[in-house]
Amino acid sequence: MTLPLTENFRANSYFKGFLINAIIGAIITVLAIELRLFLEDKTSSYYGFWSNLYNTKTIDEGKKLFVSLLIVFVISIITYHVFFALFMFGGGFLINDVHNSHKPTLHNLFKVEHSKVKTKQNLGNSDRVIVLGPIKNKNKNKNKNKN
């Protein structure tokens, strides 16, 4: 599976990033409101599930608050992962220790920026590298060859 699934709509400008984040916020908000309304309806199966879990006939406001926070947290994590898979949205949440700020101007709002791929030749001293996968130890390979 290749990520992202589409490259036509990526957050490569402030406007697109704000737009995608607004869509994510709207999805999370609508689902939170709808699930809270289901939790208020005592005849719904959603209310029945949580009342059986708490072993009560009625759910008080504190338990409804906890259930809502738990479910909205899970919905948020799932939504952000889906948008990461679709649009690679969220990678910009990871920052280096060195932060070069861009002045927020109207021109920069719609400016498309492409990331510069760092290779071994152009890594600076302040760059942090995250290695995914097993680490190959050169000393172990040398010791194996000697034996």
pLDDT digits (tens, 9 = 90+) for 121-136: 555 555 555 555 555 5
Considering the domain boundaries, does residue 43 fall inside one? yes
Domains in the chain, number? 1
Q: What is the pTM of this model?
A: 0.59
CA separation for the pair 21, 31 (Å, rounded): 15
Average pLDDT, the chain: 75
Q: Give the angle subtended at the CA of 28 by the CAs of 25 and 30, to the nearest 5°.
A: 105
DSSP string of 37-50, one letter each residue: HHHH-TTSHHHHHH
Residue 55: which domain range?
Answer: 14-109
Q: Is the pLDDT of residue 79 over 90?
A: yes
Average confidence (pLDDT) over 67-95: 84
Q: What does the DSSP 8-state code read for residue 139?
A: H
CA distances from 54 to 35, 42, 64, 70, 107 (A): 17, 14, 11, 15, 54
% of the chain exceeding 90 in pLDDT: 20
Considering the domain boundaries, does residue 35 fall inside one? yes
- What are the residues whose beta carbons fall under 8 Å from the beta carbon of 122, sequence distance 6 or more? none
- Residue 97 is predicted with a pLDDT of 47
Considering the domain boundaries, does residue 94 fall inside one? yes
Considering the domain boundaries, does residue 59 fall inside one? yes
**Token pair 């809270």: residue:** 36
